[in-house]
Chains A and B, each alone.
Chain A
Amino acid sequence: QLQLQESGPGLVKSSETLSLTCTVSGASVSDYYWSWIRQTPGKGLEWIGRIYPSGNTNYHPSLKSRVTISVDRSKNQFSLRLTTATAADTAVYYCARDYDFWGPWGQGVLVTVSS
């Protein structure tokens, strides 16, 4: 059974880099596309970006300049880095298997960006 679990700091200082990792179990990260998605009460659900089995990526146009998604095949993980974080990046961050729609999802991690 495919399962995903996000991990990383729940508190990030403004202007610093938000970093999260998604650990995949029940499948290889090399077998599927994977995405990061975030959710806020105000903006709702927002797709951040994806990584392909090849390691290629594509990102939401509005976040492209600040986002990097990478994969560590030895650990069966993929990661998110979002630079120059601001309060607007405060959200629950999810990782998910990607078919252009998403499922299953990890349980999510709340990241608060504080000044």
Chain B
Amino acid sequence: DIQMTQSPSTLSASVGDSVTITCRASQSISTWLAWYQQKPGKAPKLLIYRASDLESGVPSRFSGSGSETEFRLNISSLQPDDFATYFCQQYTSHSQYSFGQGTKLEIK
């Protein structure tokens, strides 16, 4: 099984800051990676797929990069609505998916 490890687990930042969340895969996954945002009591929301493709309707301050085993989610100019938990997910093959453990982005 492919293990996904996110860092940091918690990130404190202020409105207007730029932040980066990292996701590492235990083996190469090419660019088969998605990022999600989840707020308390709500379902995850797709932000990025194929490592860097922005889902329709997602603000351009969100961007993704990386390939093989290391990936990054960048959020520039943080807005109050961005404070949430973020997950990465690999999808190299049907039925063998795995998620990162999540990064909680909190207000400093």
Residue in contact with A101 in the complex, picked from B42, B46, B94, CB distance below 8 Å: B46
**8 nearest A-B residue pairs (beta carbon):** A103-B46, A101-B34, A105-B43, A100-B91, A45-B99, A47-B97, A101-B49, A108-B43
A61 at the A/B interface (Cβ < 8 Å)?
Answer: yes
Contact with B along A75-106 (1 / 0, CB 8 A): 00000000000000000001010011111111
B45 at the A/B interface (Cβ < 8 Å)?
Answer: yes
Tally B residues with Cβ within 8 Å of A: 18
B60 at the A/B interface (Cβ < 8 Å)?
Answer: no
Indicate the size class of the contact surface on chain A. 20 to 34
| Distance, CA A47 to CA B101, complexed state (A) | 14
Note all chain B residues with C-beta closer than 8 A to A60. Answer: 95
B82 at the A/B interface (Cβ < 8 Å)?
Answer: no
